[in-house]
């Protein structure tokens, strides 16, 4: 892989279900970067029943974005941890142009690359409503296309699988609407800066990964 040592921040853009989390999990070992999924951080906060988690849950259950002040506080607390010193992969952040602008101000000494995983809406509902996640290591599975070896159990760590409460059809549709209104404009934002590469996410995981590696 070329230029890996210079890639300090890799932003993964894309609609829900495009495979940002799966690709980040595969890439983080190769790139020696931390994987920061803002959705996972929020779900962990909800599980801990922290004040932030309680506030975030109302928005998440409706498929809406969590307010920026909560997001930035949580994100930068995570970025200050030692495993992020070498750089990190952002999965699920930024999600609006305002978040991207603020992030740019705060990360002005980092080298940032942006990857957009593209996937048509028609595939998204199918991917998400049949998705299961490992409660231990967050590995995603799919009831039709990526079944675990043993039903309900993670192949990697053996912990139980669960369906995210926002992966129901009604909430997925709302998340998609929010994506098109608020997050998709980021593609043009980063295109203008010349830092963006797009990859078709409607291919098997290995092909997507190899195209990402070529870009990096
Ligand atoms: P994800 O796991 O990335 O699909 O995120 C799940 C939910 O967490 C989203 O639908 C939002 O409610 C919330 N969330 C995650 N990242 C962000 C963000 N950058 N800004 C606002 N809300 C977010």
pLDDT tens by residue, 21-79: 999 999 988 888 999 999 999 999 999 999 999 999 999 999 999 999 999 999 999 99
State residue 30's pLDDT score. Answer: 84
The model's confidence at residue 98, banded by pLDDT at 50, 70 and 90, is very high
- Paired sense of beta strands 161-162 and 131-134, if any: antiparallel
pLDDT tens by residue, 136-177: 999 999 999 899 999 999 999 999 999 999 999 999 999 999
State residue 216's pLDDT score. Answer: 85
State residue 127's pLDDT score. Answer: 92
Is there a catalytic annotation at residue 164? yes
Is there a catalytic annotation at residue 43? no
Handedness of CA 126, 45, 25, 177 (dihedral sign): positive
- Alpha-carbon distance of 39 to 91, in angstroms, equals 8
**Separation of 125 CA from ligand 1 center, angstroms?**
17
- Alpha-carbon distance of 104 to 108, in angstroms, equals 6
Taking residues 120-146, report their average pLDDT. 92
State residue 97's pLDDT score. Answer: 98
Whether the pLDDT of residue 196 is over 90: the answer is yes
- Among the options 8, 20, 28, 113, which is catalytic? 20
Taking residues 193-211, report their average pLDDT. 93
Taking residues 187-202, report their average pLDDT. 95
In 3-state terms, what secondary structure has residue 111? coil
**Separation of 91 CA from ligand 1 center, angstroms?**
9
Q: What is the pTM of this model?
A: 0.92
- Alpha-carbon distance of 44 to 136, in angstroms, equals 11
Q: Any residues with Cβ below 6 Å from ligand 1, and which? A: 16, 38-39, 42, 59-60, 63-66, 71, 92-95, 99, 166, 175
Is there a catalytic annotation at residue 106? no
Question: What does the CA dihedral 83, 87, 89, 90 come to, rounded to 10 degrees?
Answer: 90
Whether the pLDDT of residue 1 is over 80: the answer is no
State residue 7's pLDDT score. Answer: 46
- Among the options 8, 43, 57, 95, which is catalytic? 95
The model's confidence at residue 2, banded by pLDDT at 50, 70 and 90, is very low
pLDDT tens by residue, 75-89: 999 999 999 988 999
Distances (CA, A) of 156 to 18, 71, 149: 21, 30, 10
């Amino acid at each position: 892989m070329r230029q890996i040592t210079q890639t300090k921040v890799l932003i993964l853009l894309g609609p829900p279900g495009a495979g940002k989390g799966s690709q980040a999990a595969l890439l983080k070992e190769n790139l020696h970067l931390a994987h920061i999924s803002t959705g996972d951080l929020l779900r962990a906060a909800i599980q801990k029943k922290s004040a932030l988690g309680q506030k975030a849950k109302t928005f998440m259950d409706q498929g809406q974005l969590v307010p920026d002040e909560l997001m930035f506080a949580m994100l930068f607390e995570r970025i200050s941890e030692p495993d992020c010193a070498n750089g990190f992969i952002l999965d699920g952040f930024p999600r609006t142009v305002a978040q991207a602008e603020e992030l740019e101000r705060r990360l002005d000494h980092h080298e940032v690359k942006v990857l957009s995983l593209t996937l048509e809406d028609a595939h998204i509902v199918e991917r998400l409503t049949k998705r299961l996640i490992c409660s231990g290591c967050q590995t995603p599975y799919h009831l039709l296309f990526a079944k675990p070896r043993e039903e309900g159990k993670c192949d990697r760590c053996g912990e139980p699988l669960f369906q995210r409460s926002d992966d129901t059809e009604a909430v997925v549709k709302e998340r998609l609407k929010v994506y098109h209104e608020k997050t998709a404009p980021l593609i043009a934002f980063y295109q203008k800066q010349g830092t963006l590469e797009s990859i078709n996410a409607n291919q098997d995981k290995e092909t997507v990964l190899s195209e990402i590696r070529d870009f990096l």
